Amino acid sequence: MSERRQVLLRLDPAVHDALTRWATDEFRSVNAQVEMLLRRALADAGRMPAHAAPIPRRGRPRTSDQAPQPPDRSQDDGADGADT
């Protein structure tokens, strides 16, 4: 994978605050949110380079390719099974 480049970006404080809230709502860092928005804008404009690497996956990897399923509560009678 190629080296990622750093960019200094100056923003109006209100724009930064809005971007921070948006990133938080989508469980991203501000940096990841900016990159996602720039990639979307490049793709929409037909200017996304074909050789651009995908956004790196962050966080803990899933244990399987399937989304986690909620526990089956159909047999749950509310008791914890402990005798008192």
pLDDT at residue 60, rounded to an integer: 75
pLDDT at residue 56, rounded to an integer: 76
pLDDT at residue 83, rounded to an integer: 56
pLDDT at residue 39, rounded to an integer: 95
- pTM exceeding the 0.95 threshold for the entire prediction: no
Report the helix count and the strand count for the chain, using DSSP H and E: 2, 0
Nearest alpha-carbon partner for 4 in 27, 40, 44, 31: 31
Phi and psi, residue 8, nearest 5°: -85, 125
Block means of pLDDT (10 residues each) for the chain, 84 residues, are 85 98 95 95 95 81 67 62 54
Q: What tokens does 10 get?
A: 């100056």
